């Protein structure tokens, strides 16, 4: 990362050839860094401004435990076959390890086990969701997944209710980071997936953003509060009163920041883009990394799940024990549960987690020796984890978010990806598309 230059060093200029164009990229996440590299490789003069004191955005590899890097944001390449993130990982020399959802051990709360939960599978829950989505398709207006389920699965015994809630949380709320009460039944599963396994980075996702940032002029600690289109270009205004001018700007901040109105646009954003920002949801998925002195859980499983009568209550866990017997567990909270948990203090959160851990692994499970806890909703430069299709939103809202405004203000990020929303590869592809659009318009 180059040392920051004086902001006044980039004067406002008029139309230039592609090799001379100056572009401000707002945000040093995967979309912004990818676009900046493509633009710079094509001869554009690029400055990346980043509000945080680090690069990566919602990719954040913590090295607080020097021997065990952990990803506080994105963790996986979801589907390696044909995925551009796979190629980027190879270029960065980042090793990966596959995890499998088939390698899962289900733990059942003793209270539910007494009601016969152990003898019932999830086929009934999956069928109920299928009926609910079919029912929703016949409606005249979009409804939430929860509303659709209430219409087709209202008479359930306690075990059936727990299993349905567990399936909805695991397959939808944890996946999309949105509550079943907010997830669109019409647009729930819009998008495409890559084939192949899901893989983790033993040494952290941050290797990829470090690779992308090499040779770029990245200026951390620059909080953009306004983007103004002028007769000759654009001007980005900063929280400290400084400004930076160029021919064009690429805005790659998360949807949550746009929803909060943290950046003022002049002229205002188009009605279609403003509507997309309002209608799409910004979900919440938090991570709670726990480090122990020893592995006390079955180490041969990648995933541990907890079925209880409390929907989403510490229901999903990942073990790092297969990686050199690393005594680390990752517990997730998503959607409504994540909103609740994020308001608690660390001690209360750990108390809840360990109460469930002892029901899963036995009363003798020891306390962790260290923990790392995320609160993405409270992060002013994220305001959530990633976007989802809320009731009333469609992929067209994402396409509207990706369109250029006033001929000079471009947008990229996972929320702007209609085919791969909520993913690192969606953000990367969006960044490439935005760079190509800028370069095509400059010719």
DSSP-based three-state secondary structure for 94: coil
Question: What mean pLDDT comes out for the span 101-105?
Answer: 91
Q: Tens digits of per-residue pLDDT, 4-49?
A: 333 433 443 344 454 578 999 999 999 999 999 999 999 999 999 9
Judge whether 381 and 394 are in contact, CB under 8 Å: no
> Which residues 6+ apart lie within 8 Å of 291 measured at CB?
65, 68, 327, 328, 368, 369, 370, 371
Q: Point out the least confidently predicted range of 47-51, 61-65, 154-158, 289-293.
A: 154-158
Judge whether 143 and 136 are in contact, CB under 8 Å: yes
* 392 pLDDT above the threshold of 60: yes
Judge whether 283 and 385 are in contact, CB under 8 Å: yes
Q: Tens digits of per-residue pLDDT, 231-253?
A: 999 999 999 999 999 999 999 99
- pLDDT for res 190: 87
Q: Which residues of 31-51 are buried (b: 16+ CB within 10 A; e: fewer)?
A: bbbbbbbbbbebebbbbbbbb
> How, if at all, do strands 285-291 and 328-334 pair?
antiparallel
- pLDDT for res 123: 78
Instruction: Record the tokens describing residue 261, joined without a space.
Output: 């109105």
- pLDDT for res 113: 86
Count of beta carbons in the 10 Å neighbourhood of residue 72 = 23
Higher pLDDT, 419 or 154: 419
Name the nearest CA neighbour of 424 among 76, 49, 35: 76
Question: What mean pLDDT comes out for the span 389-406?
Answer: 97
Count of beta carbons in the 10 Å neighbourhood of residue 210 = 17
Q: Point out the least confidently predicted range of 99-113, 172-186, 289-303, 396-410.
A: 99-113
* 443 pLDDT above the threshold of 60: no
* 366 pLDDT above the threshold of 60: yes
Mean pLDDT of the chain: 93
In the chain, the percentage of residues whose pLDDT exceeds 90 is 86
Q: Angle at CA 12, nearest 5°, toward 7 and 15?
A: 140
Element (H, E) at 126: helix 123-137
Q: pLDDT category, 324, cuts 50, 70, 90?
A: confident
- pLDDT for res 100: 87
Cα–Cα distance between 412 and 24 in angstroms, integer?
13
- pLDDT for res 14: 40
DSSP-based three-state secondary structure for 307: strand
pTM over 0.85: yes
DSSP state of 14: -
Q: pLDDT category, 117, cuts 50, 70, 90?
A: confident
Instruction: Record the tokens describing residue 30, joined without a space.
Output: 């995967």
Cα–Cα distance between 282 and 273 in angstroms, integer?
15
Q: Tens digits of per-residue pLDDT, 153-206?
A: 988 989 999 999 999 999 999 999 999 999 999 999 888 999 999 999 999 999
* 92 pLDDT above the threshold of 60: yes
Residues in the chain: 443
Cα–Cα distance between 442 and 44 in angstroms, integer?
10
For the CA atoms of 207, 211, 213, 216, the dihedral, rounded to the nearest 10 degrees, stands at: 160
Question: What mean pLDDT comes out for the span 51-65?
Answer: 98
- pLDDT for res 12: 36
Higher pLDDT, 424 or 190: 424
In the chain, the percentage of residues whose pLDDT exceeds 70 is 95
Determine the distance from the C-alpha atom of residue 219 to the mean position of all C-alpha atoms in its chain, rounded to a whole number. 23
**DSSP characters for 349-397?**
HHHHHHHHHHHHH-TTPPPPSEEEE--TTT-TTTSSS-EE-BTT--HHH
């Amino acid at each position: 990362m180059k040392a920051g230059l004086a902001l006044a060093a980039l004067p406002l200029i008029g139309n230039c050839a592609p090799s001379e164009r100056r572009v401000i990229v707002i945000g040093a996440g995967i979309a912004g860094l990818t676009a900046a590299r493509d633009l710079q490789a094509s001869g554009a003069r690029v400055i990346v401004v980043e509000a945080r004191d680090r690069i990566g955005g919602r990719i954040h590899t913590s090295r607080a435990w020097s021997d065990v890097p952990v990803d506080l944001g994105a963790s996986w390449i979801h589907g390696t076959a044909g995925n551009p993130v796979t190629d980027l990982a190879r270029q960065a020399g980042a090793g990966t390890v596959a995890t499998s959802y088939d390698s899962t051990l289900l733990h059942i709360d003793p209270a539910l086990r007494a009601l016969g939960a152990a003898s019932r599978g999830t086929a009934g829950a999956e069928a109920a969701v299928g009926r609910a989505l079919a029912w929703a398709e016949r409606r005249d207006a979009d409804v939430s997944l929860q509303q659709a389920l209430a219409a087709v699965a209202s008479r359930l015994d306690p075990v059936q209710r727990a299993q349905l809630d567990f399936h909805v949380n695991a397959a939808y709320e944890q996946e999309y980071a949105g509550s079943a009460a907010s997830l669109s039944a019409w647009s729930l599963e819009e998008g495409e997936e890559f084939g192949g396994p899901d893989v983790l980075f033993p040494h952290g996702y941050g290797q990829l953003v470090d690779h992308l940032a090499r040779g770029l002029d990245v200026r951390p600690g620059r909080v953009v509060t306004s983007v103004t289109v002028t007769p000759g270009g654009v001007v980005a205004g900063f929280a400290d009163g400084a400004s930076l001018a160029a021919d064009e700007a690429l805005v790659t901040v998360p949807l949550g920041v746009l929803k909060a109105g943290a950046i003022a646009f002049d002229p205002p954003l188009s009605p279609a883009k403003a509507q997309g920002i309002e209608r799409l949801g910004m979900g919440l998925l938090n991570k709670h990394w726990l480090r122990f002195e020893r592995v006390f859980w079955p180490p041969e499983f990648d995933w541990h799940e907890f079925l209880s009568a409390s929907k989403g209550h510490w229901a999903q866990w990942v073990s790092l024990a297969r990686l050199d017997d690393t005594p680390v567990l990752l517990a997730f909270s998503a959607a409504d549960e994540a909103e609740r948990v994020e308001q608690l203090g660390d001690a209360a959160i750990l108390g809840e987690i360990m109460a469930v851990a002892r029901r899963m692994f036995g009363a003798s499970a020891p306390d962790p020796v260290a923990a790392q806890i995320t609160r993405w909703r409270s992060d002013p430069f994220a305001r959530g984890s990633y976007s989802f299709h809320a009731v009333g939103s469609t992929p067209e809202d994402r396409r509207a978010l990706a369109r250029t405004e006033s001929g000079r203000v471009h947008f990229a990020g996972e929320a702007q990806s209609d085919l791969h929303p909520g993913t690192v590869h969606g953000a990367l592809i969006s960044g490439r598309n935005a760079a190509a659009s800028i370069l095509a318009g400059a010719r």
